[in-house]
Amino acid sequence: MAEVTNVTEYQAIAKEKLPKMVYDYYASGAEDQWTLAENRNAFSRILFRPRILIDVSKIDMTTTVLGFKISMPIMIAPTAMQKMAHPEGEYATARAASAAGTIMTLSSWATSSVEEVASTGPGIRFFQLYVYKDRNVVAQLVRRAERAGFKAIALTVDTPRLGRREADIKNRFTLPPFLTLKNFEGLDLGKMDKADDSGLASYVAGQIDRTLSWKDVKWLQTITSMPILVKGVLTAEDARIAVQNGAAGIIVSNHGARQLDYVPSTIMALEEVVKGAQGRVPVFLDGGVRRGTDVFKALALGASGIFIGRPVVFSLAAEGEAGVRKVLQMLRDEFELTMALSGCHSISEITRNHIVTEWDAPRALPAPRL
C-alpha cells in the first residue's frame, strides 16, 4: 500500500476495512448531507495573504487552552464508540493525543470508560457530556470524569433529539454485541436500566433530555468545578448567552453535520460567533478540518484552536494508535509549514489580515504618491 501522505487518504482505507454499518455510522451526515460537504468546501473559499521576507527559522505552535499548555492548537473531538473502529479504541486515541502533547475529548458514548482512558497514562483530557432525563445519571458521569482527572466538560447542546442519518436507518445501526457504552456500566441507572447491552446505545440516545436549556448549564456549574465548554453554538446570539451563563469557552460545531442539515459550515459560522463572544471566552471549532491550512484559516478567523473527529476514527480503523499519531503529526507539519509560508512565527501572529474571504470588502489600495 502506498504511503499515506495526507489526512483524507485514511477515509478510503477505513471504508475498505470496516463493516459497512460501522463505516456508514462514522461517515454519514444528516439527511441530504449538504452541510457535510459544505464543512469541507467552505474552507476552499478562504484564501491566504502571505507575508514574505520574515525570518521563520523558528516556529512556535504552542498555545494554552483553559490554562493548559499544549503543543499545537489541534485537539481531538469526542467521537462515539471507537472500539468499532479498532479493538484498542479510545485507549489508542488517548495514547496518541498524549504523545502529541495535545488534548483528547472522550465521548460519553465511548466504548472505554473514563477510568480506563485515565489508566493509559498522563494527558490532558476533556469529557463530552449529554444531559439525560435522569439528572442523577448526569451527576454520576460528571463525578466519575472529575475523579478520573478529566479537566473540562464539553457539553453538547445541539442534540435535544438525534439528527436523521439515513444510512443508519437503512443499516439498522446497533452497537456490535461485544461492545458496551462503558461510562454507563456500573452507574445507578435508576429509570434507565431497561436495556441490555446491545440495546443500550439506542436506549441511551432516547434518554437525552429534550427540555435541556440554559438553566441546566447553570445547574452543571453547581455540581462540578470543571470548566464547561458549550459545544454546538452557531450564532452570535447564543455565543452572548453562553458567556452570560458562565461558559468557560465555546465550540463552534454542527456535530459533524449529523444534526440539522443546511446549517452553515462551522468555518462560515465562526466569525459571527467570535464577534458574539467579544473576547470574553475562547472560541474553538470542529467540523471539516483535514489540512494544516484549515487550522490556520480557523485561527485567522478568531478561533483559539480546532478539534478533529472523523480523521481520528478513520485513521484508527486503518492503523490503530499509529494512525492517530500520524494524523496529528501530518496536521502539525502542514500547519507549521502554513505558518512559515504565511510569515508567522507564533500563534499570536496569525491575524485576520493573513486571509481573504468572499465577504471581505475590497481592500482600499494605498493612495498613489503623485
- Residues classed as catalytic: 255
Distance, in Å, from the CA atom of 183 to the CA atom of 201, rounded to the nearest integer, reads 12
Distance, in Å, from the CA atom of 136 to the CA atom of 270, rounded to the nearest integer, reads 34
Q: How many residues does the chain have?
A: 370
Distance, in Å, from the CA atom of 275 to the CA atom of 74, rounded to the nearest integer, reads 22
Ramachandran angles phi, psi of 283, nearest 5°: -120, 130
User: Dihedral through CA 291, CA 333, CA 10, CA 80, nearest 10?
Assistant: -80
Distance, in Å, from the CA atom of 128 to the CA atom of 123, rounded to the nearest integer, reads 16
Distance, in Å, from the CA atom of 188 to the CA atom of 192, rounded to the nearest integer, reads 9
CA neighbours closer than 13 Å in the CB half-sphere of residue 266: 34
Q: Which three cell numbers stand for residue 114?
A: 473514563
The amino acid sitting at 211 is T
**Which alpha helices (H) appear in 260-345, and where do they start and end?**
266-277, 292-300, 310-342
Distance, in Å, from the CA atom of 91 to the CA atom of 69, rounded to the nearest integer, reads 22
The amino acid sitting at 332 is R
Distance, in Å, from the CA atom of 87 to the CA atom of 107, rounded to the nearest integer, reads 17
Comparing CA positions, the residue from 345, 273, 271, 311 lying closest to residue 46 is 271
Q: Which three cell numbers stand for residue 177?
A: 454485541
Q: Would you tell me how many other CB atoms lie within 10 Å of the CB of residue 153?
A: 26
DSSP secondary structure code for residue 73 in this structure = S
Three-state secondary structure call for residue 235: coil
